[in-house]
Amino acid sequence: MISVNDFRTGLTVEIDGDLYQIVEFLHVKPGKGAAFVRSKIKNIKTGYVIEKTFRGGEKIMRAHIDRRKMQFTYVDGDMYHFMDLESYEDLPIDSAMLGDQKKWLKDGMEVDVSLHNDVPIGIEVPNFVELEVTQTEPGFKGDTATGATKPATVETGATVLVPLFVEIGTKIQIDTRSGEYLRRI
């Protein structure tokens, strides 16, 4: 159990059987009446953010999230399979749970899988990935000074805006948090 007075951003709690992550919170001490905590919490399964007010000092269940290093192995229909690097067990995760993270997954990539009571609730891919460009328009000599961009498809199927000089077969580094091109490798 944790007091709502100990809230901090990113904390995971269990309310009415659902997992929520604290997005933001505010301790309010009105001149009249008892203190309370106004918060915005995100449902981990649905992704919806709701506003909830708690009485000051109220106790709620803290969710224990286990993060394990796993390796992405393959896709089978809508299921993405990961291998636990310690026990070598296979863990299938539904593609709906992965959200936008799945567009950066490459065979053999190590990711952090978040588990609650041994049930996967999400993954975290590395902040920066190196992927090869598989499709883009051809560039022209001298197209480096304008700062213009063009769409390019990388080996995972994701589309990224890249500078005009990037060609098919070029390895590039991408920031997975924003989906932006960083540099050529």
Are 66-124 and 128-184 the same fold in CATH?
A: yes
Least confident of 92-96, 144-148, 167-171: 144-148
Buried b (16+ CB within 10 A) or exposed e, 31-42: eeeeebbebbbb
CATH of domain 66-124: 2.40.50.140
pTM: 0.72
pLDDT, greater one: 73 or 100? 73
Average pLDDT over residues 69-93: 91
Q: Which fold has domain 2-62?
A: SH3 type barrels. (2.30.30)
> If you classify domain 128-184 with CATH, what class do you get?
mainly beta
Enter the tokens of residue 87. 């026990």
Per-residue model confidence (pLDDT) at position 141: 62
Which amino acid appears at position 146 of this protein?
Answer: T
Is the pLDDT at 102 greater than 90? The verdict is: no
Residue 40: pLDDT over 90: yes
Single out the residue of 28, 48, 31, 30 nearest to residue 39, CA to CA: 28
43 half-sphere exposure, CB direction, 13 A CA radius: 12
Give me the percent of the chain exceeding a pLDDT of 90: 39
- Residues 185 and 182: their CA atoms lie apart, in Å, by 10
